[in-house]
Amino acid sequence: MKNESTADQCSDPTKEFKIQIPCRLAKRAEAYAAANNTTITGMVIRSFGCFFKRAK
């Protein structure tokens, strides 16, 4: 895997990337997003934000 800095690649404030997760986890994410009136993208952004705040 390449170690690339997104700061060097993103002229836009967002960057799209694709990940592969187990189907069971994807189904749980879809169900959670639907139950909480959000999108999977929104849920992932919030989750990453919380994770990285704690990982300081």
Reported as a single tens digit per residue, the pLDDT across 12-33 is: 888 888 999 999 999 999 999 9
Task: Give the mean model confidence (pLDDT) for residues 35-56.
Answer: 92
Please state whether the predicted TM-score (pTM) of the whole model is above 0.85: no
Per-residue HEC secondary structure of 1-56 comes to CCCCCHHHCCCCCCCCCCCCCCHHHHHHHHHHHHHCCCCHHHHHHHHHHHHHHHCC
Q: What φ, ψ does residue 12 adopt, rounded to 5°?
A: -95, 150
Rounded mean pLDDT, 32-36: 95
CB atoms under 10 Å from CB of 33, counted, come to 16
More confident site: 6 or 46: 46
Average pLDDT of the segment spanning 40-56:
91
Tokens at residue 21, please? 């997760």
The amino acid that residue 43 corresponds to is M
